[in-house]
Amino acid sequence: MKITVTDQAGEVHELEGLEGWRVMEVIRDWGLNIKAECGGALSCATCHVYVDNDWLDAVGAPSDEEEDMLDSVGDVKSNSRLSCQILCSDELDGLKLTLAGSASKEA
Amino acid sequence: MSTEITTDVVVIGAGPCGLFAAFELGLLDIKCHFIDILDRPGGQCAELYPEKPIYDIPAFPMITGQQLTDNLMAQIAPFSPEFHYSRMVNSIEKLEDGSFKLQTDADETFYTKVVVIAAGGGSFQPKRPPVPEIEQFENKSVFYAVRKMDDFRGQDVVIVGGGDSALDWTLNLQPIVRTLTLVHRRDAFKAAPASVNKMKELVAEGKVNFQLGQIAKLDGENGQINHVHLTTDAGDLSIPATRLLPFFGLTMKLGPVADWGLELNDNTIVVDTEKFQTSVPGIFAIGDINYYPGKLKLILSGFHEAALMAQAAKAIVSPGERVVFQYTTSSTKLQKKLGVA
Domain at A28, CATH number: 3.10.20.30
Please indicate, yes or no, whether residues B134 and B175 belong to a single structural domain of this protein.
yes
Please give chain B's pLDDT, 341 residues, in tens. 689 999 999 999 999 999 999 999 999 999 999 999 999 999 999 988 888 899 999 999 999 999 999 999 999 999 999 999 999 999 999 999 999 999 999 999 999 999 999 999 999 999 999 999 999 999 999 999 998 999 999 999 999 999 999 999 999 999 999 999 999 999 999 999 999 999 999 999 999 999 999 999 999 999 999 999 999 999 999 999 999 999 999 999 988 999 999 999 988 999 999 999 999 999 999 999 999 999 999 999 999 999 999 999 999 999 999 888 899 999 999 999 999 98
Please indicate, yes or no, whether residues B163 and B228 belong to a single structural domain of this protein.
yes
Residue B132 contacts A where some CB pair is shorter than 8 Å: no
Looking at B207-266, which runs of residues are DSSP E strands? Answer: 209-212, 214-221, 224-232, 235-240, 243-246, 250-253, 264-265
Residue B160 contacts A where some CB pair is shorter than 8 Å: yes
Please indicate, yes or no, whether residues B284 and B238 belong to a single structural domain of this protein.
no
Residue B53 contacts A where some CB pair is shorter than 8 Å: no
The total of other beta-carbon atoms located within 10 Å of residue B12's CB is: 26
The total of other beta-carbon atoms located within 10 Å of residue B341's CB is: 10
Residue B265 contacts A where some CB pair is shorter than 8 Å: no
For B155-167, letters b (16+ CB in 10 Å) and e give: bbbbbbbbbebbb
Please indicate, yes or no, whether residues B98 and B110 belong to a single structural domain of this protein.
yes
Whether residue A74 and residue B215 make contact (CB cut-off 8 A), yes or no, is yes
The parent domain of residue B132 ranges over: 128-248
Please indicate, yes or no, whether residues B179 and B255 belong to a single structural domain of this protein.
no
Angstrom distance (rounded) from CA B238 to CA B128 = 20
Q: How many domains does chain B have?
A: 2
Whether residue A37 and residue B121 make contact (CB cut-off 8 A), yes or no, is yes
Residue B140 contacts A where some CB pair is shorter than 8 Å: no
Please indicate, yes or no, whether residues B241 and B285 belong to a single structural domain of this protein.
no
Please indicate, yes or no, whether residues B36 and B102 belong to a single structural domain of this protein.
yes
Please indicate, yes or no, whether residues B174 and B27 belong to a single structural domain of this protein.
no
Angstrom distance (rounded) from CA B133 to CA A51 = 28
Please indicate, yes or no, whether residues B12 and B117 belong to a single structural domain of this protein.
yes
Q: How many domains does chain A have?
A: 1
Q: Which residue of A has its CA nearest to B252?
A: A37
The β-bridge partners of B224 are: B221
Please indicate, yes or no, whether residues B271 and B230 belong to a single structural domain of this protein.
no
pLDDT in the model for residue B2 = 84
The parent domain of residue A78 ranges over: 2-103
Whether residue A71 and residue B161 make contact (CB cut-off 8 A), yes or no, is yes
Quick one: average pLDDT of A13-41? Answer: 94
Q: Are A33 and A102 in contact (CB under 8 A)?
A: no
Whether residue A74 and residue B44 make contact (CB cut-off 8 A), yes or no, is no
Q: Which helix (H) or strand (E) holds B199?
A: helix B193-204
Last residue of a domain, one of B226, B248, B270: B248
Q: Which residue of B has its CA nearest to A66?
A: B190
Q: Which residue of B has its CA nearest to A68?
A: B190
pLDDT in the model for residue B1 = 64
Nearest to B295 by CA among B17, B5, B10: B17
Last residue of a domain, one of B216, B248, B280: B248
Last residue of a domain, one of B201, B230, B248: B248
What residues of chain A lie within 8 A of the CB of B121, using their CB?
37
Q: Are A29 and A17 in contact (CB under 8 A)?
A: no
Please indicate, yes or no, whether residues B96 and B147 belong to a single structural domain of this protein.
no
- pTM here? 0.86
Angstrom distance (rounded) from CA B105 to CA B111 = 15
Please indicate, yes or no, whether residues B153 and B242 belong to a single structural domain of this protein.
yes
Q: What is the CATH number of the domain that holds B228?
A: 3.50.50.60
Whether residue A43 and residue B128 make contact (CB cut-off 8 A), yes or no, is no
Instruction: Give me the interface pTM, i.e. the ipTM.
Output: 0.90
Quick one: average pLDDT of A60-72? Answer: 95
- SS3 for B213? coil
Cα separations in angstroms, B168 against B173, B190, B222: 9, 12, 29
Residue B148 contacts A where some CB pair is shorter than 8 Å: no
The DSSP-derived string for A27-96 is HHHTT-S---TT-SSSS--TTEEEE-GGGHHHH-PPPHHHHHHHTT-S---TTEEEGGG-B--GGGTTEE
What residues of chain A lie within 8 A of the CB of B252, using their CB?
37
Residue A38 contacts B where some CB pair is shorter than 8 Å: yes
